[in-house]
């Protein structure tokens, strides 16, 4: 999530900019203004406290979304893990080599770790 009232991302916009999305190590790398799951407030004149409230409401909504955890098992060992949003499929985190997940004999287990079941 990011808020700018001046600078590069607020240039050409009448008012502050507030944006949010699920992403990785790069700020707003997965942001898309036309994605309903992303937070977009542009060109609105409001006190900074209102922007903070909108950001908190968006975060609260995001934290209530269902999360699924998958393990890729082979020979009794975990060779990969993935966490994703169960209602939209957006990836939250993953570890392990992708190629190992597709080898014969790999078992995938999925568990709903939060929220209403989507499995």
Query: What is the spatial distance between Cα 92 and Cα 69, in angstroms, rounded to a whole number?
Result: 10
Q: What is the pLDDT of residue 109?
A: 85
Tokens 């937070």, located at residue: 39
Cα atoms in the Cβ-side hemisphere of radius 13 Å centred on 89: 0
Structure tokens, 112? 């709903």
pLDDT surpasses 80 at 117:
no
pLDDT surpasses 80 at 101:
no
Q: What is the pLDDT of residue 113?
A: 86
Q: What is the pLDDT of residue 12?
A: 66
Mean pLDDT calculated for residue range 57-84? 90
Q: What is the pLDDT of residue 7?
A: 60
- For the chain, percent helix, then strand, then coil, each to nearest 5? 20, 35, 45
Tokens 């916009």, located at residue: 13
Span 35-55, pLDDT tens digits: 888 999 988 889 999 999 999
| Chain mean pLDDT for the chain | 84
pLDDT surpasses 60 at 11:
no
The DSSP string of 32-51 is -TT-TTSEEEES----HHHH
């Amino acid at each position: 999530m990011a808020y700018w009232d001046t600078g590069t991302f607020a240039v050409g916009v009448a008012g502050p900019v507030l944006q949010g999305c699920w992403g990785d190590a790069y700020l707003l790398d997965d942001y898309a203004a036309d994605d309903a799951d992303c937070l977009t407030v542009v060109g609105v004149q409001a006190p900074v406290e209102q922007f903070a409230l909108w950001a908190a409401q968006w975060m609260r909504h995001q934290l209530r979304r269902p999360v699924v955890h998958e393990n890729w098992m082979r020979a009794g060992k975990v060779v990969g893990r993935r966490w994703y949003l169960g209602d939209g499929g957006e990836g939250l985190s993953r570890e392990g080599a992708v190629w190992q997940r597709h080898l014969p004999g790999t078992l995938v287990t999925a568990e709903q770790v939060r929220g209403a079941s989507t499995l």
